[in-house]
Every structure is written in C-alpha cells, then in structure tokens.
Structure 1
Amino acid sequence: MKNLLTVSALAVALAACSSEPAPAPGQASEQATEMATASAVPDAAVTEAPTSAPTATPGADANILALEGLADLRIGEPVPAGSSWAERGAQASDACRTVTSPDYPGVYAIVEQGKVRRITVGQRSEVKLVEGIGVGASEADVKKWFAGFRAEPHKYEAAPAKYLTAPNAKSGDPALRFEIGHDGKVSAIHVGTMPALAYVEGCA
C-alpha cells in the first residue's frame, strides 16, 4: 500500500511539472494527421516550374564552317533546293560551276557533277571555324590548332605566303586547306575534297 501511494504521488508531480496540458484523446489523433499532411506537401518554392525555358539564339551556328559544310550547304551533297545559293555571274560550265549566297558575303562554293565539292571563305567574310580561326587569323594561330599540316608555296604570292593542307586530304574525305598571305595571316579557308580542295582559281 505504501508503494502504491508513492507511485501515485510521483505521477501527480510529473503532471504538475509539464509545461503543456496533455491533449484530449480526440485532439491527439487530429494533430498527428495535420503533421503527416504537412510533411507530405513539398515546398512550393522548390517544386514550382520555371515560367519559361532558356531560348537558344536562332542561327547561332550559321557562321561556323565545318568539315561537313556551312549551314545547309553540305560537302558531297547537291545545293539545297530553294536555298539562297545560286550562280551569280561566276564561272559556270557543264563540269564545274561556282555558287554564292547574299547571306554569306565573301564565301563561294564549287559544284562538280551536281554536288558541292568545296566551300571557300575569303575576304569580307565573318564565317569562322569552331576553333575561332577565320580570315585574318595568324599562321601561328592556325598551327596552334592544326599541327602537322603540309606546307606548299603559294602560286601567286612570294614567301612567306603558302598553302597549309590537312594530312588527310589525299584520302578523299573532306579536309581543310588554309591560304596564308605574305603578311603571315589567313587570306582564305577551304573545306572540301580533292581535287577541288586544291584548285587555285575557282574551278581550275
């Protein structure tokens, strides 16, 4: 009997020390439900979708010359129907013709047997390789990116003018060829397949 009275007194003391009243039987289950619901709902700031996706700049790669070609003009394929590429007083014959586009000043393409064989980037052009090399770049810049290119004397300019041709050009695959002027800077960039890649005067 003494032990029972001691336990009862201890329970009363603990209840008196509690800072919050014990919840009613129904209230306890209600609070538990509210806590579970709150934890199940994600933070709105985290799950809110962005109002708009990043927009790519149209034509961002339009001025990039690659081994495959320039924009819709592709090495080894016909000139795209309905494109701005066409003969405009440039040399033309049954065997070879050159085409230009008002969208690409300073650029022309050689077409043989109905297919684009070479694209040439010359003066006044803003077209560049993906490495950033364009007309006006130094020979040192070219060699930094393109080591091992074969050097040949330029046909019309004195040294140090030269041609720098990719080592894979003879394989028949699309390749690069640079013209370096007497000032040591790029005067033209050619992309195409042999023998057109090495023509020095348009179709010749």
Structure 2
Amino acid sequence: MKNYLIFIPLALLAACSPEAEEPAADKIITPTSTAESATSASATAADANTLTLDGLGALRIGQRIPSGSSFASRGAQIPGSTCRTLSSPDYPGVVAMTVDGELRRITVSKGSNVALVEGISAGATEAEVRATFPGFQESPHKYLAAPGKYLTQPGADPRLHFEIDTDEKVSMIHVGTLPELTWVEGCA
C-alpha cells in the first residue's frame, strides 16, 4: 500500500504539468531544397572572414547593409549616383558596393585576411583558382596585358569574378550580381 502512495503524488504532478505543445504548422521551418539547406549550412559555418556567394559576415548580397554595421561610405562618391562604395575598418582590403541601397558586390583585394570558403584568397595563383573552380570563363583584362585576365563563374547570380594580374596571381575577388560584378572601375 505504501508503494501506491508514492505514485499518487507523481501521477498528480504529471496530470498538472502542461503537455508538450505541437508547433503550429505556420511556425515549422523546413528547407525547400537541398541546395538551400546546403547554402544555409555553409553560411552558418562560415566565420566573419569567410566570403561566400551569400556575402561576408552580416553583409548579404541583394540586401541592405545592416544597421549598426561598420561598413559606411568613406571617401569620394559620385554625386547624384545611387551607386555607393563602402568600407569598414574591421575589414581592411574589402569594399562593398550598393546600388539603390542594395548590396550588389563585395570585393576583396590583397592585404585582406578574408578568404573564400574554399580557401582561395587574394594573392592565390591562377593555377589554384583554376584547380578549385574549373570551367570559369576567361576574358581579357581591361588594363593589363596578358597574362592579366578575368575569370568569371558562369551561371546564375550571385557568382564569383577573379581579377588575375600579370604575375598570374589573384589581385581581387568579387562576389555579387551582374552587371555590377564585372564593373571595372567600381561605381565610375
């Protein structure tokens, strides 16, 4: 009989505790595709100095610069233009480009400690880029003689665009959307 008395308080406690609520159908988040799931996972795993097709740190291609971001317009801008270049003291060698307030391109140059998730950074060799990204389209550099060139990812935006200098090394990496991705002189 004593054993039953122990179970009575436990049964009462269980009866009084709320049941686990089922999440509402509109609150359940499920990825719509494997690619979206993989992109989210890679963005989550990327640290603040890892450049992905989605962006860099809190900067996201296709979105506005987050409030409180250290990226801001510094230096001369083209008067009357909706294109702006922004930089941050937290990211030396990185420039963000916005058009109509939307982030369209992120550029990483030599001297930056930012690298692509694949490990490629400014200063990498053209051979490393081609081994990591086969099939990129080659075009002549606007200001440098060969072997200077551009290597651009084919396909849909956002995409990658590399500037290769005459030493056959990456001088700049651009991530963004066309047409701004391939603009040679920034907003100019």
Q: TM-score scaled by structure 1?
A: 0.68
- The separation in 2 between residues aligned to 1:188 and 1:91, in whole angstroms, is 21
- Label 1:90 to 1:63 Cα distance change in 2 as closer, same or farther (>3 A): farther
- Residue 116 of structure 1 is aligned with which of 90, 93, 103? 103
Q: How many positions carry a matched residue from both structures?
A: 143
Assess if the C-alpha contact under 8 Å between 1:117 and 1:193 holds in 2: yes
Offset at 1:60?
7.0
Structure-1 residue corresponding to 2:186: 202
1:165 paired with 2:149, answer no
Moved over 6 A (4+): none
Assess if the C-alpha contact under 8 Å between 1:90 and 1:98 holds in 2: no
Aligned amino acid, residue 186 of structure 2: G
Percent identity (aligned): 61
- The separation in 2 between residues aligned to 1:107 and 1:159, in whole angstroms, is 26
- The separation in 2 between residues aligned to 1:131 and 1:97, in whole angstroms, is 28
Offset at 1:94?
3.4
- The separation in 1 between residues aligned to 2:87 and 2:68, in whole angstroms, is 13
Aligned partner of residue 143 in structure 2, secondary structure: coil
Structure-2 residue corresponding to 1:35: none
Structure-2 residue corresponding to 1:151: 138
- The separation in 1 between residues aligned to 2:56 and 2:85, in whole angstroms, is 15
Structure-1 residue corresponding to 2:11: none
Assess if the C-alpha contact under 8 Å between 2:46 and 2:117 holds in 1: no
Segments of 5+ residues of structure 2 without an aligned counterpart are 1-44
Offset at 1:123?
2.0
1:61 paired with 2:47, answer yes
Structure-1 residue corresponding to 2:125: 138
Give the aligned CA root-mean-square deviation in angstroms. Answer: 1.4
Offset at 1:202?
1.0
- Label 1:65 to 1:152 Cα distance change in 2 as closer, same or farther (>3 A): same
- The separation in 1 between residues aligned to 2:51 and 2:117, in whole angstroms, is 7
Question: 1:116-136: CA deviations, max 9, x gaps?
Answer: 000000121110001110011
Segment drifting more, 175-184 vs 81-90 = 81-90
Question: Which has the larger Rg?
Answer: 1
1:192 paired with 2:179, answer no
